[in-house]
């Protein structure tokens, strides 16, 4: 597992380091800066990870904890992206690993799913439908994670990775796929009060609008991180 820097040094009152597993991470800064003010800088660092295997979650937290992602100065927090990597743990296990990594790094270390769960709790989410297109991620691990965090999981709507959009497609194509997947999740279970749409390689604005118009709460790991660090959501 290797780490590469893709954003030049910039000075700001607050800097959030985002560890991005995989080759594509353009939606993360796009989403972040639609919400962030000028006092927050997103510092994206790519991590070379072979596939969305939840077992890499511990490796990523250790990487953050050892301080390989950090420079001295104004780093406010380190966020481990890639929702799948949180599913290697139960909720309590994830909190413990993140606490250990934070102690090692000297700053807060969290995963994007820690942010999402905090936001779901603050919003009063109870029964949720999970929607994702994470190839190679077992539904059982996704369900176990949310149940361990205290939610009733109505079910999981999963699409294969090979859809209309893929990792080289435009934001527009990705947004269309996200909206279609969100529609399937809304239709899946009429008793769900919340939809969690996982994924950081597509723009989720239209999907969010569809879900909220249907009277459900909407959560997404990339959008959640952006909202968290701009003061729109509760602390993790």
Report the largest interatomic distance among the alpha carbons of the chain, rounded to a whole angstrom: 49
* Class for the domain spanning 116-220: alpha beta
Which class for 213: exposed (0-12), middle (13-18), buried (19 or more C-beta within 10 A)? exposed
Helix (H) / strand (E) element for 54: namely: none
97 and 58 Cβ atoms separated by less than 8 Å: yes
Domain boundaries, the chain: 2-111+224-228, 116-220
b/e 122-144 (16+ beta carbons within 10 angstroms → b): eeebeebbbbbbbeebeeeebbb
CATH number for the region 2-111+224-228 comes to: 3.40.50.12500
Backbone angles phi, psi at 68, to 5 degrees: -70, -20
Per-residue confidence of the chain (236 residues) as pLDDT tens digits? Answer: 443 333 334 444 578 888 887 666 777 887 887 776 667 788 888 777 665 565 666 677 777 766 655 664 678 888 988 887 888 889 999 999 899 888 888 888 899 999 999 999 999 999 999 998 777 678 898 999 999 999 999 999 987 554 444 444 455 557 888 899 999 999 999 999 999 998 766 778 889 999 999 999 999 998 898 888 876 554 56
Q: Structure pTM?
A: 0.83
| CA–CA–CA angle 213, 141, 210 (5° rounding) | 10
pLDDT value at residue 191: 96
pLDDT value at residue 6: 36
């Amino acid at each position: 597992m290797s780490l590469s820097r893709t954003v030049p040094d910039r000075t700001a009152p607050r800097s959030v380091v985002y560890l991005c597993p995989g080759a594509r991470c353009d939606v993360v800064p796009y989403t972040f800066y639609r919400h962030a003010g000028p006092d927050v800088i997103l510092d994206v660092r790519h991590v070379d990870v072979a596939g969305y295997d939840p077992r890499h979650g511990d490796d990523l937290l250790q990487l953050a904890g050892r301080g390989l992602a950090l420079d001295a100065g104004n780093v406010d927090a380190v966020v481990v992206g890639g929702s799948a990597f949180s599913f290697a743990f139960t909720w309590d296990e994830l909190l413990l690993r993140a606490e250990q990594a934070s102690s090692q790094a000297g700053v807060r270390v969290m995963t994007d799913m820690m942010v999402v769960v905090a936001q779901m709790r603050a919003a009063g989410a109870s029964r949720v439908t999970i929607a994702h297109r994470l190839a190679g991620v077992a539904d059982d691990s996704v369900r176990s994670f949310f149940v361990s965090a205290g939610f009733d999981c109505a079910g999981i709507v999963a699409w294969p990775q090979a859809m209309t959009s893929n990792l080289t497609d435009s934001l527009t194509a990705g947004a269309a796929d996200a909206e279609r997947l969100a529609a399937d999740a809304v239709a899946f279970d009429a008793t769900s009060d919340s939809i969690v749409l996982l994924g950081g390689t597509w723009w989720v604005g239209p999907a969010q609008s569809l879900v909220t118009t249907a009277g459900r709460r909407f959560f997404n790991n990339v959008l959640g991180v952006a909202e968290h660090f701009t003061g729109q959501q509760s602390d993790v």
